Amino acid sequence: MRASILTAEHETFRETLRTFIRKEILPHVDLWEKQGQIDRQIWKKMGDMGFMGLNYPEEYGGLNLDFYFSMIFCEEMSHCFSGGFTISALVIQYMSAPYLLKHGSEELKQKYLRPVISGDLVSAVAITEPGAGSDVQQIKTTAIQEGDYYIVNGSKTFITNGYYGDFFITAVKTNPEKGNKGISLLLIDCNSPGVTANKITKMGWLASDTAELGFDQVKVPVSHLIGEEGSGFKYLMGGLQLERLTAAIHSLATTESALNYTLDYMRQREAFGRKLQDFQVLRHRVAQLVADITTTKAFIQHCCDLQEQGEYAVKECSIAKLQASELAVRVVSECLQLFGGYGFTEDYKIARLYRDVRVGTIIGGTSEIMLEIIAKIAIDDIQYQPKENK
């Protein structure tokens, strides 16, 4: 099945999700943006609807659906006029919890994954450090085993859901001398003694709680090791394609949302006795944006097909993430221009979207990293292979 041939069940799900968003999310988004905090009850409501475990096995409370349901979920959640809320939801389901599903012990799945899917717990993934971003091998946070515990010391930064979340899937050095083969993943509870979290003041994504984390002699049970010790780097590399694909879907859907919002404004706004939509120069500018969005969307749907088929699509997901995030910055900037002075005010949501899309070229690997990956494949003939069992 291809994304271009969605079933009636998929479309019913889209309408159900849209209804939920209109009732339970949109009325509260502005308050969440202002407070810099998402009401935790929304995760429980989404869990009750099955929205937090679309592709997860039924044995853990998931729905075991195909990836196109997640594609629809990412699209519709991106129409909420709050990148902060959307990214918080995507981090839980597609960027942190998958490590538990793929590599976590049965004990961890029952204690942490099941409550995430039900909406009772909020998860985060903690990789980036003040001195290590895209170069994961350079992380400094250590976890040295002492008996039945790892003693964790170090810091993380730019962690979505890091302040109000319940636990972190954390990249640590269990054997600093072994380079990337010394990296492991630990599940660290936010309430563990020695864990500190400070909210970061950001330009955009205001509803999400992005935090800087500190670990000072934090005792983590050995049972909280995710998978095998020393295998964390390959686990992270294996999870990046899903992260980048969902980020691409989010960027493009936000772009579509911004353009539709702008078109509504152009139908109402008059200048020199004419609607903005009647000026040929503006019509052609919009037409080009539509063309760019449409072609990028077709490629992203192709990537969704590959994801559904279980392909390890490094090149395709890197291209999707690069093109969608860069396009979002350009399109939303042009949309803001069409609002004139009003676009520079908080009276219209285009200003919020303008702030929110900018980080899309940075998260999950910068545009520069995406270009280098593509260059290695196209120029150096490097073939990336999956480093984990499906």
- Among the listed residues 243, 256, 308, 368, the single catalytic one is 243
d(CA 83, CA 206): 8
Residue 126, C-beta contacts closer than 8 angstroms, at least 6 positions apart: 156, 159, 162, 168, 169, 170, 171, 188, 213
**122 vs 105, 205, 356, 361, CA distance in Å?**
19, 17, 22, 25
Q: Residue 201 gets which letter from DSSP?
A: P
Residues 230, 175 contacting (CB under 8 angstroms): yes
d(CA 169, CA 224): 10
d(CA 295, CA 87): 24
Annotate 68-87 with DSSP letters as a single string. Answer: HHHHHHHHHHTTSS-HHHHH
**Run of H or E including 45:** helix 41-48
d(CA 242, CA 51): 17
Amino acid at 95: M
**Run of H or E including 10:** helix 8-20
Whether 243 is catalytic? yes
Q: Residue 36 gets which letter from DSSP?
A: T
The pair phi, psi for residue 386, each rounded to 5°, is -60, 140
d(CA 115, CA 119): 6
d(CA 182, CA 384): 21
b/e sequence 170-189, b meaning 16+ C-beta within 10 Å:
bbbbbbeeeebebbbbbbbe
d(CA 53, CA 94): 10
d(CA 61, CA 14): 20
d(CA 66, CA 212): 35
d(CA 377, CA 40): 42
Query: Which residues carry out catalysis?
Result: 243
